[in-house]
Structure 1
Amino acid sequence: MFRWQVSSTIAEHGVVGIIRAADAEQARQRAESCLNAGLGVLEVSLTTPDALEVLRGLRDAHQHALLGAGTVLDAASARLAVDAGARFLVSPSLHEEVISTGHRYGAAVLPGVETPSELVRALEAGADAIKLFPASRWTPESMRDVLGALPQAPLVPTGGISVDRAPDWIAAGAVAVGMGSALSEGGQAEAAERISGLLRHIRQARD
């Protein structure tokens, strides 16, 4: 899969599920819950113990899912994540070596930014999409204002986004939203209903 295809898939789905857990088994369970509920794009945070092994297992078991790695802070982590099956890399901040390393090995890269100045730097560095983080410091309305000046910026707000508010971010111009435990809480049936409803509302927000 080419980088442009990765970016297009993220935008098509509208949601990046973020898996962050205290141990590998919990991470696997949360990932399986999201994937089985119909969420096709997942990011496994490297803060999770044995995150790379979790990625490898998910890659082998769910070959049609788009998998990425989160909290990628340096070139070495970027290369290891790609080797483990990550097709995209996400950072909480802007690290140009992560972008260049990810691109060298064919992965799309979503660096994190907080300000318009950082956003422009990320675009100049070749970011495939840009993680607006933490989104809790923004609103859909303030993000829309930034997009008025920088309409070419493919933004993925992440951090503190609720299921109820996610469609508002999409309606305001975000290409997708990043969401964590809010997606996978509860049992399998509850997660499936929540994710199905979220994806439906995001499609409606784009109409």
Structure 2
Amino acid sequence: MRREEVLKNIKEAGVVAVVRGDSKEEALKIVDAVSKGGIKVMELTMTVPNPVEVIKEVAEKYKDTDVIVGAGTVLDSETARACILAGAQFIVSPSLDIDTLKLCNRYKILVMPGVMTVKDAITAFEYGVDVVKIFPANLYGPSVIKSFKGPLPQGDFMPTGGVSIANLHEWIEVGAFVVGTGGDLTKGAKTGDYDLVQRTAKEFMDAYRKAKERI
């Protein structure tokens, strides 16, 4: 899938599931539960044990479906390249790493780096980034997107960290491109309750659709 198509599909999906886990097995079960709940974009983080192996397995399992598989918590270009070779269709970083941006542009892979300042956002856009990740978003609240869009009305932003079912509509209403959610979505996995993860994913998607209808 081409970079432009990945970007379009992520925007239409609306919610990105940030998948962490204490084991490969837990991460795989989370992906299955989240996808059954209706969330179709998976950001598999590098904090999962054997993360590249997990990405490869998930990418292979879902290759003929509408699930989009990406890599998160990518700190450097070497890791980004390994994830891309394993099947990641997009790369997400917690911060701005120029070498990672260059590598992703070289291979025409969507990359969403984390930023905390307008200066970082401008740098990201200058290096061809389509969407920047506001992280950790809970330090700011939804009003930060309005603040960013003041000087950067052309910018697209993905808040991650602190996005919940209760406040998702606030992020959409202020113009978030998509939202990323992890702990609030996957908390059921901590007790092995993957049915709860599936139900929570459905609630997130219901909240997203309702928010879009209101704007």
Distance 2:20 2:7 in 1: 22
Structure 1 residue 66: Cα displacement: 0.4
Distance 1:3 1:16 in 2: 16
- SS of the residue corresponding to residue 16 of structure 1 reads strand
- SS of the residue corresponding to residue 69 of structure 1 reads strand
Deviations 1:77-109 (A, max 9, x none): 111000111000000000111111112223100
Which residue in 2 is equivalent to 1:159? 161
Structure 1 residue 10: Cα displacement: 1.3
Which residue in 2 is equivalent to 1:73? 75
The number of residue pairs the alignment matches comes to 207
- SS of the residue corresponding to residue 42 of structure 2 reads strand
Which residue in 1 is equivalent to 2:56? 56
Distance 1:142 1:156 in 2: 11
Query: How does the TM-score come out when normalised to structure 1?
Result: 0.94
Which residue in 2 is equivalent to 1:109? 111
Which residue in 2 is equivalent to 1:205? 211
Which residue in 1 is equivalent to 2:37? 37
Aligned alpha-carbon RMSD (Å):
1.4
Contact 1:46 1:70 in 2 (8 A): yes
Structure 1 residue 189: Cα displacement: 3.3
Structure 1 residue 200: Cα displacement: 2.2
Which residue in 2 is equivalent to 1:131? 133
Query: How does the TM-score come out when normalised to structure 2?
Result: 0.91
Distance 1:190 1:34 in 2: 10
Fraction of identical pairs, as percent: 35
Deviations 1:116-175 (A, max 9, x none): 111111111111211001101111123213213212111000112222111210111001
Tell me which moved more, 11-20 or 98-107.
98-107
Seen in structure 2, the aligned counterparts of structure 1 residues 48 and 178 have a Cα distance that, compared at 3 Å, is same
Which residue in 2 is equivalent to 1:84? 86
Alignment counterpart, residue 94 of structure 1, candidates 84, 96, 101: 96
Contact 2:38 2:205 in 1 (8 A): no
What letter matches 1:51 in structure 2?
P
In structure 2, runs of 5+ residues without a counterpart are: none
In structure 1, runs of 5+ residues without a counterpart are: none
The 4+ residue runs of structure 1 with deviation greater than 4 A are none
- SS of the residue corresponding to residue 150 of structure 2 reads helix
What letter matches 1:14 in structure 2?
G
Structure 1 residue 176: Cα displacement: 0.7
What letter matches 1:114 in structure 2?
M
Contact 2:112 2:130 in 1 (8 A): yes
